[in-house]
Structure 1
Amino acid sequence: MERTPAKRSSLFLLELMIAILFFCLASAVCVQIFVKAHTTSRGTQELNTALEKVSGYTELFLADALTEDTEVFYDADWQECSKDEASYEIVIRVEPDGKLLHGTFTVQRLSGEQPEEIYSVETDRMTGTERE
């Protein structure tokens, strides 16, 4: 029985192609994991910054320094800017409710047709006087 070198080399090529296919699949999975991690990181960073900004405005509201409806616009780097250049908006609504002032603080991403809410919080503050 004589072996032919063609069969041996074709088996080696098949094994090599399977190994290359395996590494291609593994690298595709790794790239997907890195992209997902990057997306999650950006979303978390955006949420943390939104929370930090709203926290400051909530403190102003509780200290009676913010008593009316306000809209504040921020660019992509979270620097205050005009409405035309804005990537984010903080909407502050203040509503009297008897001896309370009710504040709603909402951060929105301004992308596309409709703003997308990132974070929202509501709080009340006692005024001591009846308001309508």
Structure 2
Amino acid sequence: MRKLLFLVTIFFALLTVGCSNEVKQESSTSAANAQIILVVDEESEVFEVEFVEGLSLMEIMKENFDVETAFEDSFIIGINGLLADDSAKMGWMYTINGEFAMKGANEYTPEDGDTVEFKYESWE
């Protein structure tokens, strides 16, 4: 009987430790907000998006917009049906908090409060 009581105690102790780790993992991911601005022909549309910290800009864009990509999912070539046009040399360029992005959307991890502006413009 004593052996059974000991095993039951150990089982519940391990169960408690396992549950406390799960709670820690869930609380380590927090929600953040960013402003996404889409600009076409000088007309802007502003979107407030909520996302889990640690996601790439590409993941956030795919969750909130209809996005077309190229180059192994590293470059956005279309947003909400408006695709890059090679013959007109037009495409989507983006800035982060007013600074031109120096990496692809799949490599940038937005922070809470960021403003990301995607502008459909000439690359010449």
**TM-score normalised by length of structure 1:** 0.37
Instruction: Kindly indicate which of the two structures has a greater share of residues assigned to helix.
Output: 1
**TM-score normalised by length of structure 2:** 0.39
Instruction: Answer with 1 or 2: which has the greater Rg.
Output: 1
